Chains A and B, each alone.
Chain A
């Protein structure tokens, strides 16, 4: 998959160490956001090319009702990927964060990526059968 470059903005606020990190994401364009039907957020161990530790699915504009498990010390990738109406992953972004760190907000910018199918079976409005 050749994803377009995704921009990552990590904001250090007030320069003080924190034991919580806010996870934000935004779409690179309104057009991309309008296409999104399902968002999947993933925590990857070791960075953006690392092993998936946890994943959370929710609708655009909503927040996951699930709170991610707290992170042990180490490097992580916070990945956001979006599905369109026909259940294709079409946009992605990832930001890396070192824990512990002074970073209090990690913002992932979601850019267009090479489309790939998300469902082995049927799809309806971005949701795979059985999900």
Chain B
């Protein structure tokens, strides 16, 4: 039985795994599976999923499948189920074939029935005076998402990216943008919008309110009102200034990086 399982795993490794991406940790992990060194394979796949760069989405899917296979071989179904749930969160339509171990097929089918929450990106953008603000949040597969990136063209057609959940962009023209969930090894796990099919957000434009028709009132009665309005504006301004400089946000602003040439 074990031999058959190992054979299936070996076949899976040889024929299905991505062949020539050349990352040493992936290659080592697959070799461990091939040699039925499942404990070491789990560690090696952990290392793959801990990489900071060099992976693509398919590599992450393969690492999850490989680690789930190793966990199953070690009779650790809970850990395998966790890997399969992560896999389905980023690729709900993943298909296995006869080269995968039957136990993995069964696990995937069971997990599909419970429908683990998919990885979803929520991007929100709004125009503000002098530019736009873009925010992104994500849910599902939190264990895999290492960062989110916001890509935008600054309203001038020149694409830039920020690895941050929120950016404020100075712009005076509509800004094209898309957002990406970054996973292990820098892999793009999910996107909302793309560079070819971006989202748009326009800076806020000055709004001119129509003035209300002036109501005729005796001049001597308008002065107190005018003084009251001016006083109110001054007080409100002072409050806003105090809040802006002191209260509300104790965080320290960090300027945009600026090159100094000496």
Contact = CB atoms under 8 A, between A and B. Distances in A.
Q: Which of B151, B159, B164, B261 has the most CB of A within 10 A?
A: B164
A68 B249 contact: no
A125 interface: no
B163 interface: yes
Which residue, of B160, B169, B188, B195, has the highest number of chain A Cβ atoms within 10 A?
A: B160
B224 interface: no
Contacts of B214: none
Interface in A35-67: 39, 41-43, 52-58, 60-61, 63-67
Contact of A21 (B152, B161, B254, B259): B254
Contacts of A63: 256-259
Interface residues of B, number: 41
A112 interface: no
Contacts of A54: 162-164
A85 interface: no
B252 A99 contact: yes
B252 A19 contact: yes
A126 to B, nearest CB: 13
B251 A66 contact: no
B260 interface: yes
Q: How large is the interface on A (under 10, 10 to 19, 20 to 34, 35 or more residues)?
A: 35 or more
Nearest to B133: A67
A120 B257 contact: no
Nearest to A21: B254
Contacts of A131: 151, 159, 161
B262 A55 contact: no
B8 to A, nearest CB: 30
Interface in B44-101: 53-56
Interface string B94-133: 0000000000000000000000000000000000000000
Interface string A70-88: 1111000010100000000
Nearest to B159: A131
Given A19-B245, A65-B152, A71-B253, 11 more contacts: A19-B251, A21-B253, A25-B258, A54-B164, A57-B160, A65-B154, A67-B168, A69-B164, A70-B252, A70-B254, A121-B56
A57 B256 contact: no
B162 A120 contact: no
Contacts of B154: 65
14 contacts: A19-B252, A21-B253, A22-B258, A23-B258, A24-B257, A26-B259, A54-B164, A55-B162, A56-B160, A57-B161, A60-B259, A66-B152, A67-B170, A72-B251
A99 B249 CA distance: 14
**Residue of B150, B186, B258, B260 contacting most chain A CB atoms (<10 Å):** B258
B259 A25 contact: yes
Contacts of A43: 254
Contacts of A66: 150, 152, 160, 162, 164, 167-169, 256
Contacts of A53: 164
Contacts of B55: 120
